[in-house]
Amino acid sequence: MAVHREDLIDEEDSEEDNALFQEENTIDFDLDLSEPLQPILSAARSGDAEALTQALENFDGNIDEPLEDGDTALHLVCLYGHLSCVRVLLEKGANVEAKDEDGAIPLHDACAGGYTEIVRLLLNHASDDETVKRMLLTVDDEGDTPLHHAARGEHTEIVNLLLAAGAPVTQTNSYGKTPGELAEPQTEARRILEAAELAVVKDVWGSRRRVHCSLSIV
């Protein structure tokens, strides 16, 4: 998963360093990337949907080709919150389940960034319920599901959206943390996730009691 630009630039960095990210086209070209993919990378980074459409029309390769740190074009536009570009890529057949070098899918990036409409679009674009389920259960190299990323950022609307879609609220990551444990205490996201966890626990215990009663009657 690529790093958000705001995470790359510290407030105390010099103006010269910040200019590398603020100046147009300064970092748009990657010398290690093949020439046909350069316009796609540039458009994905900048969020230029028209340029992206043109670049894809001139490209006859795999739309899910990794562009940067194992990220596909769909990963990048989800990472930077470029909704119009997400629409373009989905219309062109980009794979919502493509994984980057960290095992993350585009949904992880959208959840981490707090881009609610992109999250909604990705879930609605899934071909069937099984695809949605796989997306929600996908973990990155640290065992984080998309819900873990949304919880860490305390993106309440996305947390609600993922839970409504069936995201696993009790699943732990590689550090033994559930999504609820990643949100700060006393926050709305933490309250929602803890309530969802409690509901799951009550449901499990209720099911066990019903089974036990049935066995006792038999």
Contact 195/201 with Cβ under 8 angstroms?
no
The whole-number pLDDT of residue 209 equals 53
The whole-number pLDDT of residue 146 equals 98
How many angstroms separate the Cα of 77 from the Cα of each of 52, 57, 97, 121? Answer: 11, 18, 15, 13
Looking at 3.40.630.30, 1.25.40.10, 3.30.70.3270, 1.25.40.20, the CATH number of the domain 5-217 comes to: 1.25.40.20
The whole-number pLDDT of residue 86 equals 98
pLDDT per residue over 149-207, tens digit each? 999 999 999 999 999 999 999 999 999 999 999 999 999 999 999 999 999 887 655 55
Residues 6+ away with beta carbon under 8 Å from 205: none
User: What are the residue boundaries of the structural domains of the chain, listed by start?
Assistant: 5-217
The whole-number pLDDT of residue 204 equals 56
Torsion angle defined by CA atoms of residues 147, 158, 122 and 43, in that order, rounded to the nearest 10 degrees: -100
Q: Which of 3, 217, 194 is nearest to 108 (CA)?
A: 3
Name residues of the chain where pLDDT drops below 70. 1-31, 203-218
Contact 28/41 with Cβ under 8 angstroms?
yes
The whole-number pLDDT of residue 171 equals 96
Contact 137/143 with Cβ under 8 angstroms?
no
CA 167 – CA 132 distance, rounded (Å): 9
